Chains A and B, each alone.
Chain A
Amino acid sequence: MSKYIATRAIRGATGLVGEAERMLSQAIADKGPETPVQFPNTAYYLPTILGLTGREVSTLGDLVPLMERARSLLHPVPASQLWKPYLGETLDAGVGTLLAAETIEAVRFVNGEQPERWPGFEMGGGTDYPHLKDGHLNGPIDDIQLRSWGIQLVDGRMPGFAAIVGCAKSNEVAVELVRQLQQRNILIFLSGNVNGRSIIHQLQEEGVEMGYDTYIVPFGTDTISAIYALGFATRSALTFGGMKGGMPREIFLYNKFRVFAFVLALGEVDDLKYAAAAGAISYGFPVIADTVIPEIRPSGVTQYEHVISMPFDEIQAENDLERAKKMVQKAIEVRGVKIRVTEVPIPVPYGSAFEGEVVRKNDMRVEFGGKHTRAFEYLYMADSDQVEDGKVSIVGPTFADLPEQGAMDMGIVIKVAGRKMQTDFEPVLERQVHYFINGASGIQHIGQRDIAWIRISKAAADRGFNLEHFGKILIARFHADFGAIVDKVEVTIYTDPDKLKFWLEKARTAYDFRNRRLADLTDEAVTEFYSCTLCQSFAPNHVCVVTPQRLGLCGAYNWLDCKASFQINPTGPNQPINKGTTIDPVKGYWSGPIEFTRQASHGFVQDVSLYSIMENPMTACGCFECIVMLIPEANGVMVVSREDPSMTPAGMTFSTLAGMAGGGLQTPGVMGVGKYYLTSPKFISADGGFKRVVWMSSILKQTMADEFVQVLEREEAPGFLDQVADETICTDVDGLLTHMTEVGHPALEMDPMF
Chain B
Amino acid sequence: MPVEIPKEKWTGKVRLVTLGATAAEGGTRTRRVTVGGGTTLPFLFFEGDMPHKPVIGIEIRDRKPDDWSPLLGLAWGEAMNDPGDWAKAAEQAGADAIVLAFNLADADGKAPTAAHAKATVRKVLQATGLPVIVNGPGQADLDNELLVAAAEEGAGERLVLGLCEDRNYRTIVAAALGHGHLVQARTAMDVNLAKQLNILITDMQLPLDRVLMDPTTGALGYGIEYGYSVMERLRIAALQGDSMTQCPMIVTPGEEAWKAKESKVGEGVPKAWGDWQERAINWELVTASSLVESGADIVVLRHPESVKRVHAMIDAMMAG
Answer whether residue B53 sits at the interface, using C-beta atoms and an 8 A cutoff. Answer: no
Query: Which residues of the partner chain A approach B174 to less than 8 Å between Cβ atoms?
Result: 150-155, 240
Answer whether residue A702 sits at the interface, using C-beta atoms and an 8 A cutoff. Answer: no
Q: Which of B115-156 contact A (CB under 8 A)?
A: 144, 148, 152
The answer to whether A242 touches B205, judged by C-beta atoms less than 8 angstroms apart, is yes
Answer whether residue A61 sits at the interface, using C-beta atoms and an 8 A cutoff. Answer: no
Residue-wise interface mask of B (66-80) relative to A, using a CB-CB cutoff of 8 A (1 in contact, 0 not)? 000000000000000
The answer to whether B192 touches A533, judged by C-beta atoms less than 8 angstroms apart, is yes
Residue-wise interface mask of B (144-185) relative to A, using a CB-CB cutoff of 8 A (1 in contact, 0 not)? 100010001000000000000000001101110111000000
Q: Which of A220-242 contact B (CB under 8 A)?
A: 239-242
The answer to whether B196 touches A572, judged by C-beta atoms less than 8 angstroms apart, is yes
Distance, CA A153 to CA B148, complexed state (A): 13
- Minimum CB distance partner of B168 in chain A: A155
The answer to whether A540 touches B148, judged by C-beta atoms less than 8 angstroms apart, is no
Answer whether residue B190 sits at the interface, using C-beta atoms and an 8 A cutoff. Answer: yes
Query: Which residues of the partner chain A approach B171 to less than 8 Å between Cβ atoms?
Result: 151, 155, 157
The answer to whether A154 touches B204, judged by C-beta atoms less than 8 angstroms apart, is yes
B interface vs A, CB < 8 Å? 144, 148, 152, 170-171, 173-175, 177-179, 189-193, 196, 199-200, 203-207, 233, 237, 240
The answer to whether B199 touches A155, judged by C-beta atoms less than 8 angstroms apart, is no
The answer to whether B178 touches A536, judged by C-beta atoms less than 8 angstroms apart, is no
- Minimum CB distance partner of B169 in chain A: A155
Query: Which residues of the partner chain B approach A573 to less than 8 Å between Cβ atoms?
Result: 192
A-B contact list, 25 entries, CB within 8 Å: A147-B152, A147-B178, A151-B175, A151-B178, A152-B174, A154-B170, A155-B144, A155-B171, A155-B173, A155-B174, A156-B170, A157-B171, A239-B177, A241-B177, A242-B177, A242-B205, A242-B207, A254-B205, A536-B192, A537-B189, A537-B191, A537-B192, A571-B199, A571-B200, A602-B240
Query: Which residues of the partner chain B approach A150 to less than 8 Å between Cβ atoms?
Result: 174, 178
- Minimum CB distance partner of B171 in chain A: A155
Query: Which residues of the partner chain B approach A540 to less than 8 Å between Cβ atoms?
Result: 191, 233
Query: Which residues of the partner chain A approach B199 to less than 8 Å between Cβ atoms?
Result: 571
B246 smallest CB distance to A (angstroms): 15
Partner of A147 from the list B179, B196, B205 (CB cut-off 8 Å) is B179
B136 smallest CB distance to A (angstroms): 14
- Minimum CB distance partner of B175 in chain A: A151
Interface centre among B178, B179, B190, B203 (most CB of A within 10 A): B178
B100 smallest CB distance to A (angstroms): 20
Query: Which residues of the partner chain B approach A240 to less than 8 Å between Cβ atoms?
Result: 174, 177-178, 205
Q: Which of A133-191 contact B (CB under 8 A)?
A: 147, 150-157
The answer to whether A602 touches B237, judged by C-beta atoms less than 8 angstroms apart, is yes
Query: Which residues of the partner chain A approach B237 to less than 8 Å between Cβ atoms?
Result: 602
Residue-wise interface mask of A (524-555) relative to B, using a CB-CB cutoff of 8 A (1 in contact, 0 not)? 00000000010011001000000000000000
Beyond known contacts A155-B144, A533-B192, A571-B200: 10 more, CB 8 A cutoff = A147-B152, A151-B174, A154-B173, A239-B177, A241-B177, A536-B190, A537-B190, A537-B191, A540-B233, A602-B237
Q: Which of A478-537 contact B (CB under 8 A)?
A: 533, 536-537
- Minimum CB distance partner of B240 in chain A: A602
B134 smallest CB distance to A (angstroms): 15
Distance, CA A602 to CA B191, complexed state (A): 12
- Minimum CB distance partner of B237 in chain A: A602
Q: From known contacts A154-B204, A537-B190, infer whether A571 and B173 are also in contact, taking CB-CB under 8 Å.
A: no
Query: Which residues of the partner chain A approach B177 to less than 8 Å between Cβ atoms?
Result: 154, 239-242
Query: Which residues of the partner chain A approach B196 to less than 8 Å between Cβ atoms?
Result: 571-572
Query: Which residues of the partner chain B approach A152 to less than 8 Å between Cβ atoms?
Result: 174
Query: Which residues of the partner chain B approach A241 to less than 8 Å between Cβ atoms?
Result: 177, 205
Distance, CA A573 to CA B190, complexed state (A): 12
The answer to whether B200 touches A155, judged by C-beta atoms less than 8 angstroms apart, is no
Query: Which residues of the partner chain B approach A156 to less than 8 Å between Cβ atoms?
Result: 170
Q: Is the interface of A mostly helix, strand, loop or mixed?
A: helix
Query: Which residues of the partner chain A approach B175 to less than 8 Å between Cβ atoms?
Result: 151
B238 smallest CB distance to A (angstroms): 12
Distance, CA A659 to CA B144, complexed state (A): 44
Distance, CA A573 to CA B173, complexed state (A): 23
Query: Which residues of the partner chain B approach A572 to less than 8 Å between Cβ atoms?
Result: 196
Distance, CA A156 to CA B189, complexed state (A): 27
- Minimum CB distance partner of A151 in chain B: B174
Query: Which residues of the partner chain A approach B240 to less than 8 Å between Cβ atoms?
Result: 602
Q: Which of A391-449 contact B (CB under 8 A)?
A: none
A744 smallest CB distance to B (angstroms): 49
- Minimum CB distance partner of A144 in chain B: B152
Distance, CA A239 to CA B206, complexed state (A): 11
Query: Which residues of the partner chain B approach A154 to less than 8 Å between Cβ atoms?
Result: 170, 173-174, 177-178, 204
The answer to whether B191 touches A536, judged by C-beta atoms less than 8 angstroms apart, is yes
Distance, CA A39 to CA B170, complexed state (A): 30
Query: Which residues of the partner chain A approach B152 to less than 8 Å between Cβ atoms?
Result: 147
The answer to whether B193 touches A537, judged by C-beta atoms less than 8 angstroms apart, is yes
The answer to whether A239 touches B178, judged by C-beta atoms less than 8 angstroms apart, is yes
Query: Which residues of the partner chain A approach B189 to less than 8 Å between Cβ atoms?
Result: 537
B115 smallest CB distance to A (angstroms): 14
- Minimum CB distance partner of A150 in chain B: B178
Residue-wise interface mask of A (224-267) relative to B, using a CB-CB cutoff of 8 A (1 in contact, 0 not)? 00000000000000011110000000000010000000000000
- Minimum CB distance partner of A153 in chain B: B174
Distance, CA A294 to CA B204, complexed state (A): 36
Query: Which residues of the partner chain A approach B203 to less than 8 Å between Cβ atoms?
Result: 571
- Minimum CB distance partner of A533 in chain B: B192
Query: Which residues of the partner chain A approach B205 to less than 8 Å between Cβ atoms?
Result: 240-242, 254
Interface centre among A152, A240, A536, A572 (most CB of B within 10 A): A240
- Nearest 7 A-B pairs (CB), nearest first? A155-B170, A154-B174, A155-B171, A151-B174, A537-B190, A240-B177, A155-B174
Query: Which residues of the partner chain B approach A155 to less than 8 Å between Cβ atoms?
Result: 144, 170-171, 173-174
Residue-wise interface mask of A (438-471) relative to B, using a CB-CB cutoff of 8 A (1 in contact, 0 not)? 0000000000000000000000000000000000
- Minimum CB distance partner of A147 in chain B: B178
Interface centre among B175, B177, B203 (most CB of A within 10 A): B177
Query: Which residues of the partner chain B approach A151 to less than 8 Å between Cβ atoms?
Result: 148, 171, 174-175, 178
B71 smallest CB distance to A (angstroms): 35
A456 smallest CB distance to B (angstroms): 32
Distance, CA A155 to CA B170, complexed state (A): 4
Interface centre among A155, A239, A536 (most CB of B within 10 A): A155
- Minimum CB distance partner of A536 in chain B: B192
Interface centre among A157, A571, A602 (most CB of B within 10 A): A571
Query: Which residues of the partner chain B approach A536 to less than 8 Å between Cβ atoms?
Result: 190-192
B144 smallest CB distance to A (angstroms): 8
A237 smallest CB distance to B (angstroms): 9
Query: Which residues of the partner chain A approach B179 to less than 8 Å between Cβ atoms?
Result: 147
Distance, CA A254 to CA B204, complexed state (A): 10
Query: Which residues of the partner chain B approach A157 to less than 8 Å between Cβ atoms?
Result: 171
Distance, CA A536 to CA B170, complexed state (A): 25
Query: Which residues of the partner chain B approach A571 to less than 8 Å between Cβ atoms?
Result: 196, 199-200, 203
- Minimum CB distance partner of A573 in chain B: B192
- Minimum CB distance partner of A538 in chain B: B190
Distance, CA A434 to CA B152, complexed state (A): 45
B239 smallest CB distance to A (angstroms): 12
Distance, CA A540 to CA B173, complexed state (A): 28
Distance, CA A240 to CA B191, complexed state (A): 28
Distance, CA A153 to CA B171, complexed state (A): 9
Distance, CA A153 to CA B203, complexed state (A): 15
A595 smallest CB distance to B (angstroms): 16
- Minimum CB distance partner of B244 in chain A: A571
- Minimum CB distance partner of B144 in chain A: A155
Query: Which residues of the partner chain A approach B148 to less than 8 Å between Cβ atoms?
Result: 151
Distance, CA A540 to CA B240, complexed state (A): 16
A546 smallest CB distance to B (angstroms): 16
Distance, CA A157 to CA B189, complexed state (A): 28
Distance, CA A18 to CA B275, complexed state (A): 86
B186 smallest CB distance to A (angstroms): 15
Distance, CA A571 to CA B171, complexed state (A): 19
Distance, CA A147 to CA B205, complexed state (A): 16
Distance, CA A254 to CA B203, complexed state (A): 11
- Minimum CB distance partner of B233 in chain A: A540
